Amino acid sequence: MGAYILRRILLMIPTLFGVMAISFAVVQFAPGGPVEQVIAKLTGQGGDATERISGGGGEPGMTNFDAGGIASSKYRGAQGLDPEFIAKLEKQFGFDKPPLERFFMMLWDYARFDFGQSYFRDISVLDLILEKMPVSISIGLWVTLLSYLISIPLGIRKAVKDGSSFDTWTSAIVIIGYAIPGFLFAILLMVLFAGGSFFDWFPLRGLTSDNWEQLSWPARILDYFWHITLPLTALVLSAFATTTLLTKNSFLDEIRKQYVVTARAKGLSERRVLYGHVFRNAMLIVIAGFPGAFISAFFTGSLLIENIFSLDGLGLLGYKSILDRDYPVVFANLYIFSLIGLIVSLISDLTYTWIDPRIDFERRDV
């Protein structure tokens, strides 16, 4: 097993390199980079924008430009700005170096987990990510736990009652839940229960109230669950449907196997057959997928929900960073998410061996 783990870890290096190289290459051709963002703010907001840029860590004298100068034509909207000012902007953002040199400098820094400073926020990228992470962890953890706590018992029951009326109407609910996009259901919940056209029972923004610090601990817990009810409901819907069907199909596959027929022929009770023999084999694929399900809910499922409910997490941070062309935040998020995804994939494989020791990855090619 040690050799397999080592091979998987070594394979992470070229995988990360490929992900970052493709993303970096795409960004080079994307219009509206950080230099153009600053130029647009300067030409559109005048002195206010100039003051913001000069106060955001730029070099002294960056904003003293000659309105009659002629800037490089490679930047849209730069006509009339001093070329020296444009050059200082390029140096501030690191665009004074060739793309290949910038790429390998970025990889070297990222290998040491040095993600630099945000272009447009006066904070390091790592501190910014750590600041937003608790919200996303909170959402991802609850979504994963709730979906498994609901889906596994329901999936087992559906497998046992396969073809019955219970299986039919619960399948209809599951399929409808899977078919409805989470963000549409979130909007529906807002309209119904968050001060839309009907009831005003739940808050619309954030995970806590403004007076959360002044509340007692029991009141804080209640306030937290009061705020997170609607986002969790919207996110659990699709995750709950997927895991339920996966659990049911896994149990059906195992129930039809010969060893189950043999166990029943020996006179074992249905409960013992189900939970003593079938459960372990049927739940292999479901439980082993727990780390991946958590990461999926953590990083991908919450983007639209965070936007809809104004939750200040990693999904909203990544979305705003892409719009602002805040490349250090964008690439750091991509690097961290990719690395965690690869690690979780390895953990999922190791979980298989923990659940069923008969599985041996050493005898298989990576």
Transcribe 15-59 into DSSP letters.
HHHHHHHHHHHHHHT-SS-HHHHHHHHHHHHTHHHHHHHHTTTPP
| Confidence label for 50 from pLDDT (cuts 50, 70 and 90) | very low
Query: What is the distance between the alpha carbons of residues 50 and 54, in angstroms, rounded to a whole number?
Result: 6
Do 67 and 78 touch, CB atoms closer than 8 A? no
Do 214 and 154 touch, CB atoms closer than 8 A? no
Q: How many residues does the chain have?
A: 366
The amino acid present at 279, given as its one-letter code, is F
Query: What is the distance between the alpha carbons of residues 267 and 273, in angstroms, rounded to a whole number?
Result: 10
| Confidence label for 180 from pLDDT (cuts 50, 70 and 90) | confident
Q: Is 301 exposed, middle or buried (0-12, 13-18, 19+ CB in 10 A)?
A: buried
Domains of the chain: 126-363 (1.10.3720.10)
Query: What is the distance between the alpha carbons of residues 227 and 207, in angstroms, rounded to a whole number?
Result: 5
Residue 195 CB coordination number (10 Å): 14
221-243 pLDDT tens trace: 898 889 888 888 888 876 777 78
Query: Which of the two residues, 238 and 101, has the higher pLDDT score?
Result: 101
pLDDT in the model for residue 65: 37
Q: Is 129 exposed, middle or buried (0-12, 13-18, 19+ CB in 10 A)?
A: buried
| Confidence label for 346 from pLDDT (cuts 50, 70 and 90) | confident
Do 2 and 354 touch, CB atoms closer than 8 A? no
Of the listed ranges 82-86, 164-168, 255-259, the least confidently predicted one is 82-86
Q: What percent of the chain has pLDDT over 90?
A: 7
Which of the given ranges, 20-34, 163-177, 341-355, has the highest pLDDT on average? 163-177
Query: What is the distance between the alpha carbons of residues 36 and 42, in angstroms, rounded to a whole number?
Result: 10
pLDDT in the model for residue 17: 93
